[in-house]
């Protein structure tokens, strides 16, 4: 049996999700936790696209059937490798021929199939609209080294709604942000990951988000979220310089010194050639406290310039004495309870 459903029902039905698009489409972005069982490989998809342009829709459809029929017997084996369930949900790019063809084949072989109406395009629209709903945002800001990520994790443990953008982006947002991280997702997949993180959250309740530039590494925060972040109130953590230096050294001192020096090289245009060379030499000599102290002069100036551009009159400053996330979390939550 084949049932066509909307995005809400499709996503809320807990059965294996099958993406029948070509691998190149799937690798670009996909519904989270979907499995790729392509109806056409990348080369065949390209050939059909050329046929469509040169000979029209009917010729392209005919070519598609010619390419699919010889390999259709492999689809059941692919499904068995993914799941023993006889109920699955399927989508293609726009909910067209590819997903319908796969659904028909599986239905003829005893499967119950949920078909996503509108396909991946409908899902993407659904994702961005859902992200846009979150307007009750509280921005957590502070100079580099305030352990904002740890504080967000502590808030999450206390039952607060928290969106860890840097964690989803696999990047900490600075020249050093890619150290120890996995490859970053595409922009589209980043917004899919954000949507997945927000799925169980209530838009009417506050959502903690760390202050970020619009780009984190090489990917961008979706405008639907960025616009709401720009209008949000915030909390600014202020810590003594020495606390921040010690925290940064403890955090980044675990990395290879050559990798740290390479990261400093990325700042050459802003720091100048002489300062960059000096800092790299100090890094290779393991003089990390001195390096961090000098780099924070650069980062703090950048933070201040960014702060002045934002709606920071609505930020409340908190002078903390420690980078301990649990301690700072308790202070923030107590303040919010008595407001």
Active site residues: 92
> How far apart (Å, rounded) are the C-alpha atoms in residues 332 and 324?
13
Sort 95 into a burial class: Cβ within 10 Å, 0-12 / 13-18 / 19+: buried
Provide the token pair at 329: 């979390």
Give φ, ψ of 269 to 5 degrees.
-65, -30
Provide the token pair at 46: 């390209």
Going by C-beta distance under 8 Å and a sequence separation of 6 or more, which residues neighbour residue 242? Answer: none
> How far apart (Å, rounded) are the C-alpha atoms in residues 134 and 224?
9
Q: What is the dihedral of CA 162, 165, 168, 173, to 10 degrees?
A: -150
């Amino acid at each position: 049996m084949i049932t066509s459903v909307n995005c809400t029902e499709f996503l809320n039905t807990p059965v294996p999700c099958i993406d029948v698009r070509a691998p190149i489409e799937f690798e670009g972005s996909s519904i989270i936790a979907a499995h790729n069982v392509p109806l056409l490989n990348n080369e065949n998809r390209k050939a059909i696209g050329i046929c469509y342009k040169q000979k029209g829709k009917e010729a392209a459809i005919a070519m598609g059937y010619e390419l699919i029929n010889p390999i259709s017997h492999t689809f059941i084996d692919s499904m068995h490798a993914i799941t023993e369930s006889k109920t699955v949900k399927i989508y293609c790019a726009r909910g067209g021929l590819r997903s319908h063809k796969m659904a028909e084949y599986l239905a003829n072989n005893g499967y119950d199939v949920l078909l996503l109406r509108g396909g991946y395009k409908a899902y993407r629209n659904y994702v961005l609209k859902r992200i846009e709903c979150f307007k009750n945002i509280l921005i957590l800001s502070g100079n580099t080294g305030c352990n904002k990520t740890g504080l967000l994790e502590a808030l999450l443990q206390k039952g607060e709604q928290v969106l860890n953008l840097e964690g989803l982006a696999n990047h900490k947002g600075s020249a050093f942000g890619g150290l120890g991280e996995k490859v970053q997702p595409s922009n589209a997949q980043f917004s899919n990951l954000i949507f997945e993180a927000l799925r169980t959250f209530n838009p009417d309740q506050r959502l903690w988000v760390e202050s970020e530039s619009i780009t984190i590494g090489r990917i961008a925060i979706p405008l639907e979220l960025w616009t709401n972040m720009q209008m949000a109130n915030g909390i600014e953590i202020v810590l003594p310089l020495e606390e921040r230096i010690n925290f940064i050294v403890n955090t980044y001192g675990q990395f290879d010194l050559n990798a740290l020096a390479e990261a400093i090289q990325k700042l050459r245009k802003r720091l100048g050639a002489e300062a960059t060379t000096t800092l790299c030499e100090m890094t290779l000599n393991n003089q990390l406290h001195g390096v961090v102290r000098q780099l924070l002069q650069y980062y703090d100036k950048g933070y201040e310039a960014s702060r002045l551009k934002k709606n920071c009159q609505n930020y409340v400053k908190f002078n903390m004495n420690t980078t301990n996330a649990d301690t700072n979390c308790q202070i923030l939550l107590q303040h919010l309870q008595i407001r």
